Chain A
Amino acid sequence: MIEFQHVSFAYEKGREVIRDLSFRIGDGESVGLIGANGAGKSTVMKLMLGLVSGEGKILVDGEELTKQNLSLIRRKLGFVLQNSDNQMFMPTVYEDMMFAPLNYMLSREEAEKRVDAVLGRLGLQELKYRHNHRISGGEKRMAAIATVLAMEPEMILMDEPSSALDPYNRRLVINAIRELGQTKLISSHDLDMILDTCDRVILLSGGEIAADGPAEEILRDRALLESHHLELPLRLADK
């Protein structure tokens, strides 16, 4: 469970990117974070992960995020970056997946077991020993998700997981996301994907919440979406 209580944040003095933001995400929820470019989606994620710190309180499982418990809290959160290259810094997929479990003091055997399980679940066994710079964009994205799953986080944050993928790979990623049991927070402009993967949507605008409610409801509201530089998902536009 994650809770934001009156959180504000500014990269430069006087120019707040996040303004007095409060919301709560319960266990097992899948939440889509949408909004125009510059609405503050990425910043919300960074705040949650403690990569930047602002004013107000952020609670994870009822515990306030501070410098002291940062590593404990980060252990619960998995973050899939938009640019997989920035995430996958080890030479091979396998080593990248081992990175987090080994850092969390798992033995090599346990970590390897975990890696194999995740790869099996995602159907990526053949990627295991491939080199990160030699796999395709779609494979890389799936592998990036796998590296995060190998941490066994309680909650998964994703930044544009479907960007720059072909329809087939996009569908693969969507199916993979749908099957994750964890709490999910997905930031994206791909509203069709949000519709497929999330029950609830938070619409950000200028660092504030413009709307928060069931995905089916918000993603059907043409006027609301268009006033925030967004469009109806294609699947709903036909009807």
Chain B
Amino acid sequence: MNKMEKALHELSEMDDLAALSSPIHRLHPAAKLITTILYIVVTVSFDKYDLGGLFPMLLWPVLLFQLSGIPVRTCFYKLRIVLPLVMAVGLFNPFFDRAAMLTLGGVAVSGGVVSMLTLMLKGVFCLMASFLLMATTPIDSLCAALRRLHVPGTLVTLLLLTYRYVGVMTEELAVMTDAYHLRAPGQKGIHVSAWGSFLGQLLLRSMDRAQELYGSMLLRGYHDHFHYAPIRAFAARDGIFTIACALCFALLRFVNVGQLLGGLVMR
């Protein structure tokens, strides 16, 4: 399997997950979008040393994973892109910020280590949140929701069309890549002599394809705007979900739940 095929596989995996049915899948996409963004903003807004305060934020994605029946494994596979980047930035902290911050069983932990861990947790939490959004919401419903939220139609239509052709193009390039390597064994990538023509050929063909596509849109009466999939109205339960989530996030943000729980037990 080459890279493009893996990407295709990843895309179809998301499609399959989004096609499942669960209480979370049935929520209005706008409710999910808003809560996801809220969650990310709240998560990121924790102080860089507030590891203890941040940790309880874990509960929300865990709850959603369980309610929606989405496997966590797929999500962790996606961490491979985010984590190295976050780590590359965060890994410097322990070396620049060496003042002891707390002691755990006699071992002093420096502020840098705490801030690095906080950063990494933030990275993982945010990823889980946006993964859950996409794993429970098909792209067409999301686009319809974006339209409802007054994102310009041009952009939404473009997103929808592009998403459709990402599959087509990636598949074509996957085939082309295989065909290339079958005739160029031992080469790791595209040789410099084919740098222009490899993608260029497909680009020229794609321009013709775009013309044909435009033709087929015209032939079916397209003039200036797209009709989106109907989504159901924003119901009371969507509102309740959104407000409940917002309140929970506020609670987790302003009350150190970990501290509180620990305090209860310690006393």
Contact = CB atoms under 8 A, between A and B. Distances in A.
Within 8 Å by CB, do A and B touch in the complex?
yes
Interface of A: 46, 49, 51, 71, 74-75, 77-79, 81, 83, 85-92, 94-95, 98-100, 102-104, 108, 131-134, 147-148, 151
Contact of B216 (A86, A92, A108): A86
25 contacts: A71-B221, A79-B219, A83-B209, A86-B212, A87-B216, A89-B164, A89-B165, A89-B217, A90-B140, A90-B160, A91-B140, A91-B163, A92-B140, A99-B220, A100-B221, A102-B227, A103-B220, A131-B15, A133-B164, A134-B12, A134-B15, A147-B220, A148-B220, A151-B220, A151-B221
Chain A to chain B: the 6 pairs with minimum beta-carbon distance, closest first: A103-B221, A133-B167, A100-B220, A102-B227, A86-B212, A91-B140
B90 to A, nearest CB: 37
Q: Which of A81, A94, A131 has the most CB of B within 10 A?
A: A131
B223 interface: yes
Contacts of A133: 11-12, 164, 167-168
A191 B218 CA distance: 30
B19 to A, nearest CB: 8
A51 B215 contact: yes
Contacts of A87: 216
A103 B209 contact: no
A77 B219 contact: yes
A49 B140 contact: no
Nearest to A91: B140
A46 B211 CA distance: 12
A85 B227 CA distance: 19
Contacts of A89: 161, 164-165, 213, 216-217
A133 B170 CA distance: 11
Contacts of A85: 168
B196 interface: no
Contacts, number: 77
Interface of B: 11-12, 15, 138-140, 160-161, 163-165, 167-168, 209, 212-213, 215-223, 227-230
A108 B220 contact: no
B264 to A, nearest CB: 49
A133 B162 CA distance: 12
Contact of B227 (A46, A98, A148): A98
A220 B223 CA distance: 45
Contact of A108 (B217, B223, B230): B230
Given A85-B168, A102-B227, A79 B221 contact: no
A132 B165 CA distance: 10
Contacts of B11: 133
Contacts of B139: 91
Contacts of A100: 220-221
A129 to B, nearest CB: 8
B210 to A, nearest CB: 9
